[in-house]
Structure 1
Amino acid sequence: MESVELAFGGTSGIVVLLAYGGLMLAVGLITFLRNRNIHESLDEYYLGGRGLGVMVLFFTFFATQYSGNTVVGYPPTAYRIGYQYLVSVPFFIMIIAVYLFFAPRLYAMGRRFSLLTPVDWIDIRFKSKAVTILAATLMLYALGNYLLEQFVAIGQGVSGLTGGTIPYQVGVVFFIVIMVAYSWLGGMRSVAYTDTIQGIALLFGVFMLLIGSLIYFGGPSAAAEVMRSEAPEKLGAPDAGGIANWFSLLAIVGIGAAVYPHAVQRIFSARSEATLKRSFIRMAYMPFITAGVVFLVGIIGIAAFPGLTTGESEQLVGRIANALALEHPVFYWAMILLFGGVIAAIVSTADSVLLTFSSIVSNDLYGRYVDPQADEHRKILIGKLVGLVAVVVLVILAWYPPSTLYQIFVLKFELLIQAAPALMLGLYWTRLNTRAVFIGMLAGTLLASAMTFSGLRPFGVFSGLWGLLLNTAVCVIGSLLFGVSRAERKHAETVIGEY
């Protein structure tokens, strides 16, 4: 950090922090005052009354999908890998493709059965305590992992974009307190409205970052000259192993991000199926506008700051923003807005994850198995308190981050995608055997975990995909071999047969 000039030092950074925090708190307070009964209804608190319109739904999908990892973590990865990281653009397209495969049908199920979480759907479809608890555990693990990622990104974003004036730990604690406060006040409505503000700020910020980088650092052509002389491998096409890694990454991100529990909850929050589809149409353009832009920023950074170590490159966005702020007053103020936009993107993902984490605890575990007679107000309260405990534990872990953002990002998908066969195949196949689903999910989880801990990646394919392959094979072959009982078949036809 010694080489970073303090363009945002002192008053400017602190003013942005306070202004952004105050705005988010105001949104939460206004939402609470306008919906006083929000804490009495699970639908109101966790799904915004199932009434989100096209633009709010689009921006809450956008702000959730393009998180702090996208803005803070992707440029450093492009910096280290070079043009091979162009794969970061199409894997966002894959997410939309997977959504379109199952989201409209799951939305119909959500309306029919008043589903609150993806675990709700799995429980109604299979009527198995073992399957439900295992799926909930996998999703809670992934959500906790994702929260940790966002907390690390908050600290790195604040520290980098203020040139170290605001310490990493201070940034983490400040924004977590703000996030918890407005999420508790307004639930999903508060989260969705702040996501809209955050999504607009993010779009403006990253485009100004790209424009400034093109003007002052020479663009991709200057970066190509640096790579040609110092790191020619960053210009080359991937080898066979690299191509396998590309397809592996496309599959694990496309499936994993589409079955994020907090993303699935947004499917249930849509006002109508038409609203959901129109939001997805808008989302189809965003990989080029967002992931493509931050990829270019990472490539340009190779010329702007050559020779950074892995640890130093994690602060790349902050270094570029600080350098641009020193060049011209317009970019000084633009980078201050970028500072707000980057932190906004991070917090917008964290608030969604925390809300969904709480909903799975309160509805799927506490409300279903611990105290089925509890009223909705009590369920919401339990979800909040358990979520708060999880936040405290994760803040302790984030205090000294265990890994780079990219490594944390990949890790969470290894186990989350093991819930995909139950979630997706269960929507279409009435002969899916419940026992085969449980054994497949458990076997895939154990294989993916063992391969991850041992570092095994045959053919460059992520361990989670090997687990998913075993998982799906057990589900399909087990169902074909053993079939389903007459009662299971009748239940499945009752649930999905009309669709």
Structure 2
Amino acid sequence: MNNAITISTLLAFLVAFLVISFYAKRSDGGSSNSSSEGFIIGGRSMGTIVLLLSMGATYFSTWTLLGAFGSYFREGVWFVGFAVWTIFHGIFVWLFGTRIWLAGKRYGFITPGQMIERYYHSGRLRIAVALTGIVAMVPVMLIQVSGGARALEALTDGGIPYFIGVSVTSVMVGVIVLWAGFKGTAWTDSFMGIFFASILIFTAVYVVNLSGGSQMFIRIAELKPSLVVNSGHPLKMMELWLSLGFGAWVLPHMWQKFYSASSAEVLGKVSIMTPFWNSWMMAIIPLLVGMAAVLPGVAPGVSDAKSDTILPLIFSAHLPLLGALVVAGILAAAISTINSQLLSSASLVAEDIIDSRRQQPLSSAGITRVTRLVVASLTALVFVLALLPGGTGFLVPVASLGFGLGLQLVPSALGVLHLRSITEQGAFYGLVCGTSVMAIVAIFRPEIPLGPGISGFLLNIAVTWVVSRRTPSVPETSLREFHDMFDTYLRNNLDRPGDDGALVDTSDSPKTGTPGGPA
């Protein structure tokens, strides 16, 4: 493969990222980055198309372009069961996302912790939720950097070393986030989502044709019949499905995307379109390509150890002239996922950990400055972790740790959004016990049938329920401000033109760095 062409294409693609970020920054005269609300959640102005593509691109990561392919190659067709989450995720956007949007608009929240603290009247729970969210996103950010760098190295036969791939991805993400904030990440996400979706569709058509067309699965069954039989693993599938389907929506970067919507109607449309967008791209296409790779000649040199690089191996062997576009697609997948997670993690550190503990609150501009500093620090941290030996593990198992931690946030979030019976003590001790057990199982790997995420989640639910039954309810004001507000809004369908102003309450807004609450 001509590495000069690959590098030139890669540079052109990086320039395209910067140009898109530049226009995103200029689209409103730069005002979206002048306040913490604008920099972190785009001024609550995201429309249907941009939000749909941004959400999809956040999930279309190296997990999709690399990790899912490898999982099908190693473990067979049973892995397709995880696609169930893509359907239910759309339902969760509507069930939970609209309520998060409504509370965020009314009270000016820009982080999950602000909503948690206001509802439970608990600073410690806000800190616990923020720390869990940050730690959950680190492994997911890590696989974007390490997975993309490994793929670039494989596709160029070492012409772009792993270190260079890690460096380029880290620097580009840091520049986009620091320069253009939420709106810049959303616009680049939209561009990159369309680009690598096109790469995936083309790859699937080409590989199926290369593998015998309609006879492909027959050939696979003759060569390796175990791969086309559902081999079970129900608990393993449940771990993956729950973590992705029920845990992903509550991760901070997704929570803040709900805040960013311009209306509940936008989230309703996104919830309808999300399953079609996610299920085909994230499940069916990786199934076809990953399974086909077991056939001789489709992905020369592939093995279990190299299974996370199936896509670059295919293009390197069969379509080297198009390999440069695959390099760009993989880079797009990595950047489109990590940029929103990086911005979200930094905002949690700035708002929920630093500013919430200060006696003198920071101004909106101060919050933005601190967030930028944390973005730079977290970028450096992910860069260093990607260079450590542990940063090169299989992509799906590493990512599942992050999503499993997200699952531990669900009970406390459900208390705010749906379940009046959950108390502050129940939510706090459930979260602490759930994350502790998950960490123990993940580190020591005891011989038990349940994985880390489910083990922690089940204990989390049990502790939350038992403690909530024996401790005082949240204040009555919280029930009125949240649950009664949700019920009234949904009953009266207030989301009509001209009604948004009725949702704004600036008289009792939490401290967000935006004077007077949301505009």
TM-score, length basis structure 1: 0.91
Return the alpha-carbon distance in structure 2 between the equivalents of residues 401 and 353 of structure 1: 23
Match of 2:290 in 1: 298
Match of 2:415 in 1: 425
Match of 1:309 in 2: 303
Return the alpha-carbon distance in structure 1 between the equivalents of residues 260 and 360 of structure 2: 24
Query: Structure 2 counterpart of 1:441, which letter?
Result: L
Match of 1:24 in 2: 17
Q: 1:150 to 1:265 in 2, by over 3 A?
A: same
Match of 2:458 in 1: 469
Return the alpha-carbon distance in structure 1 between the equivalents of residues 124 and 189 of structure 2: 35
Q: Report the RMSD for the aligned CA atoms in angstroms.
A: 2.0
Match of 1:69 in 2: 63
Match of 1:53 in 2: 47
Q: 1:306 to 1:16 in 2, by over 3 A?
A: closer
2:90 to 80, 91, 96: 96
Match of 2:236 in 1: 245
Query: How many angstroms does 1:155 deviate by?
Result: 0.4
Query: How many angstroms does 1:371 deviate by?
Result: 5.8
Greater mean alpha carbon deviation, residues 350-359 or residues 374-383: 374-383
Determine if contact 1:444/1:468 at 8 Å carries over to the other structure. Answer: yes
Query: Structure 1 counterpart of 2:118, which letter?
Result: I
Query: How many angstroms does 1:92 deviate by?
Result: 2.1
Match of 2:479 in 1: 492
1:95-494 map, 5 Å: 95-219=89-213, 221-222=215-216, 224-229=218-223, 231-239=224-232, 242-291=233-282, 292-303=284-295, 304-305=298-299, 308-326=302-320, 332-333=321-322, 335-370=323-358, 372-402=360-390, 403-456=393-446, 458-459=448-449, 461-484=450-473, 488-494=475-481
Q: 1:359 to 1:180 in 2, by over 3 A?
A: same
Q: 1:413 to 1:31 in 2, by over 3 A?
A: closer
Q: 1:91 to 1:495 in 2, by over 3 A?
A: closer
Query: Structure 1 counterpart of 2:481, which letter?
Result: T
Return the alpha-carbon distance in structure 1 between the equivalents of residues 326 and 155 of structure 2: 9
Query: Structure 1 counterpart of 2:80, which letter?
Result: L
Return the alpha-carbon distance in structure 2 between the equivalents of residues 103 and 39 of structure 1: 24
Q: 1:409 to 1:300 in 2, by over 3 A?
A: same
Query: Structure 1 counterpart of 2:192, which letter?
Result: Q
Return the alpha-carbon distance in structure 2 between the equivalents of residues 37 and 233 of structure 1: 57
Greater mean alpha carbon deviation, residues 143-152 or residues 267-276: 143-152
Return the alpha-carbon distance in structure 2 between the equivalents of residues 348 and 61 of structure 1: 9
Query: Structure 2 counterpart of 1:414, which letter?
Result: G
Query: How many angstroms does 1:401 deviate by?
Result: 4.5
Determine if contact 1:199/1:345 at 8 Å carries over to the other structure. Answer: yes
Question: Alignment length, in residue pairs?
Answer: 480
Return the alpha-carbon distance in structure 1 between the equivalents of residues 319 and 147 of structure 2: 21
TM-score, length basis structure 2: 0.88
Greater mean alpha carbon deviation, residues 317-326 or residues 32-41: 32-41
Return the alpha-carbon distance in structure 2 between the equivalents of residues 317 and 297 of structure 1: 8
Query: How many angstroms does 1:22 deviate by?
Result: 0.6
Query: Structure 1 counterpart of 2:70, which letter?
Result: P
Return the alpha-carbon distance in structure 2 between the equivalents of residues 176 and 162 of structure 1: 19
Determine if contact 1:224/1:235 at 8 Å carries over to the other structure. Answer: no
Query: How many angstroms does 1:28 deviate by?
Result: 2.2
- Between the two proteins, what is the percent identity of the paired residues? 22
Return the alpha-carbon distance in structure 2 between the equivalents of residues 492 and 128 of structure 1: 15
**Cα deviations across residues 278-299 of structure 1 (Å, max 9, x unaligned)?**
1221112023320211221101
Query: How many angstroms does 1:216 deviate by?
Result: 2.0
Q: 1:284 to 1:435 in 2, by over 3 A?
A: same
SS of residue matched to 1:314: helix
Query: Structure 1 counterpart of 2:396, which letter?
Result: Y
Query: Structure 2 counterpart of 1:440, which letter?
Result: G
| Structure 2: unaligned runs, 5 residues or longer | 487-519
**Aligned structure 1 segments of 4 or more residues deviating by more than 6 angstroms:** none
Return the alpha-carbon distance in structure 2 between the equivalents of residues 66 and 219 of structure 1: 26
Query: Structure 2 counterpart of 1:348, which letter?
Result: S
Return the alpha-carbon distance in structure 2 between the equivalents of residues 188 and 211 of structure 1: 34
Return the alpha-carbon distance in structure 1 between the equivalents of residues 419 and 447 of structure 2: 31
SS of residue matched to 1:31: helix
Return the alpha-carbon distance in structure 1 between the equivalents of residues 462 and 270 of structure 2: 33
Query: Structure 2 counterpart of 1:411, which letter?
Result: L
